């Protein structure tokens, strides 16, 4: 029996040494109230980059103008696996704001320490991925 694989994308939006995270709405069926990166599922007709651009428009009202692939994280169990393709969003048009309150209740620009704490349970590789994204921002 093959496990279901959920292919997803996530955005590492970095500005001024901080990362943008969203807190899921408390009534969500999956991970209610949990902090995470913005993004979502890749539709059958989309590339990962197309999916991320769509999700950022829908969730935050921004248009990514420059992004680059960063990491792929895999998790889950025997019944369902998720594969999260992360992109560092280096530039965008617009100011991020919550456009889907049924999805996210809050957004916050977080320091590396805050982001690592909020994403601690999501995946053990998140701290290194977040640190790399911020290091690249500092170099730019």
Supply the pLDDT for residue 78.
Answer: 65
pLDDT higher than threshold 60 for residue 1: no
**CA proximity to 64, closest of 52, 76, 48:** 52
pTM: 0.89
Tokens of 62: 């921004």
Instruction: Answer with the residue of higher pLDDT: 122 or 92.
Output: 92
Domain ranges of the chain: 4-139
Question: Thinking of the domain 4-139, which architecture would CATH place it in?
Answer: Alpha-Beta Complex (3.90)
Q: List, for residues 71-86, the tens digit of each pLDDT value.
A: 999 987 766 788 999 9
SS3 4: strand
Beta strand spans in the chain (E): 4-15, 18-24, 35-36, 38-41, 63-76, 80-93, 104-110
């Amino acid at each position: 029996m093959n496990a279901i694989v959920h292919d997803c994308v996530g955005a590492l939006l970095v500005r001024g040494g901080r990362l943008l995270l969203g807190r899921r709405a408390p009534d969500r069926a999956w991970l209610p109230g949990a902090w995470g990166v913005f993004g979502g599922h890749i539709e059958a007709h989309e590339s990962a980059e197309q999916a991320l651009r769509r999700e950022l428009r829908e969730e935050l009202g921004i248009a990514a103008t420059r992004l680059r692939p960063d990491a792929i994280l895999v998790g889950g169990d025997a019944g369902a696996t998720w594969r999260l393709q992360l992109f560092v969003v280096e530039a965008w048009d617009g100011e991020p704001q919550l456009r889907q309150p049924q999805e996210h209740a809050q957004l916050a620009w977080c320091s590396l320490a805050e982001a690592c704490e909020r994403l601690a349970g999501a995946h053990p590789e998140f701290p290194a991925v977040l640190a790399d994204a911020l290091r690249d921002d500092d170099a730019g």
